[in-house]
Amino acid sequence: MNAIIVHGGKTFAPYISDCIEQFFIFNKSSTLFFIVDDSFAELDALKQKYPKLEIILRKSLKKSFEHKFYLLANRSAHNRWRGGFWRYVVERFFLIQEFMQQTG
């Protein structure tokens, strides 16, 4: 079973390492695709430890028309609560869709 994780932001949260380690404890032969805004030194270390961890930079994905429309139509709608929490929740699904379409 392969899986995809999406993490947005400029900081590396400590729970990410735990999440990745837990995934590979139970899925040794699976690939974990990790979509991130920026590369982190911590991810480089985890990549060395888990060769089946694939890091995908968000900027390498081409935005779909629907994704662009969502961003344009909702640029201020969900930004008031927790710094745009709901906007980013929804946007993760677009990133997953784009990754899957672009990588087959």
Residue by residue, pLDDT tens for the chain (104 residues) are 899 999 988 888 889 999 999 999 999 999 999 999 888 889 999 999 999 999 999 999 999 999 999 888 776 655 666 666 777 888 899 999 999 999 98
Cα–Cα dist 94/14, whole Å: 25
d(C-alpha 96, C-alpha 36), whole Å: 11
Full-model pTM: 0.85
